[in-house]
Amino acid sequence: MSVAKQLYQLQEVDLELDSDEKALREIASQLGESEAVIEVRNKLALEQQRLEELARQQRSVEWEIEGITSKLTTAEKELYSGRIRNPKELSNLQHETDGLKAKRTELEDKVLEIMEQVEITTKNVAALDSELKELEAEWQSQQQELSARMEQLKATVSTLKHKQQLLTAEIDPQVIEVYHELKKQRGTAVAKVEQGICRGCRISLPITELQRARSGSLVRCSSCGRILFLA
Ligand SMILES: [Zn+2]
């Protein structure tokens, strides 16, 4: 086998390795927490907090109502007991019970408002909870796919690296050095020759270069410098 052909094979292995390693890096960046999941999880936590806060408010207003009701009962008992005869005192007591009733109505309205908010927030929590479950399931299956793909790629990369070692060992180290230098400069070090044209730079090659390449010697394109490989 000509050195050019060996180098071309090495290049094919290297190119595949490069692309597999790039794919591996991309997968690695996609593994881990999903931003969409985190966002919905945070929203859900906020709504749940709000629900707890509303429940606390409701309890507190209800306690206030209980307190007022008990005061009102005492005041009304007093008012209708017949024990108080002083008109001024009676009028004061009447005034007090009216005030308590008004306050109680106000608080009862407040409870209704809170209950409305509780209803809305409960719906929000349920919607976010199901959205989160859906997203998490989707994310999980995506992660599983990615992990499986990653394992495949790792196996391929390891096979390719082995091939790379074998091919490299067969080639003169100085030639390998030239190959790596060209690869760094041009992206690819070896160019196929098709119909007398270097596929690396699409220049028609002089007949003498073609003849030398055909004879098996290592020839570099006079235009782009790549090592020429005649298939
Ligand atoms: Zn060329």
Task: Tell me which H or E stretch contains 227.
Answer: strand 227-230
Say if residues 167 and 190 touch (Cβ distance below 8 Å): no
What percent of the residues of the chain are helix, what percent strand, and what percent coil, each to the nearest 5?
75, 5, 15
Amino acid identity, position 9? Q
Q: How far is the CA of 46 from the centre of ligand 1 (A)?
A: 63
Give Cα separations from 174 to 10, 38, 57, 181, 200 (angstroms).
15, 53, 81, 11, 22
Give the tens place of pLDDT for each residue, 183-229: 999 999 999 999 999 999 999 999 999 999 988 889 999 999 999 99
Q: How far is the CA of 205 from the centre of ligand 1 (A)?
A: 8
Q: How far is the CA of 60 from the centre of ligand 1 (A)?
A: 84
Mean pLDDT, the chain, integer: 95
| Cα 69 to Cα 111: distance, rounded to the nearest angstrom | 15
Q: How far is the CA of 189 from the centre of ligand 1 (A)?
A: 10
Query: Which DSSP letter does residue 84 get?
Result: -
Give the tens place of pLDDT for each residue, 31-57: 988 999 999 999 999 999 999 999 999
Give the tens place of pLDDT for each residue, 118-139: 999 999 999 999 999 999 999 9
Q: How far is the CA of 21 from the centre of ligand 1 (A)?
A: 27
Give the tens place of pLDDT for each residue, 145-196: 999 999 999 999 999 999 999 999 999 999 999 999 999 999 999 999 999 9
**φ, ψ at 33 (rounded to 5°):** -60, 145
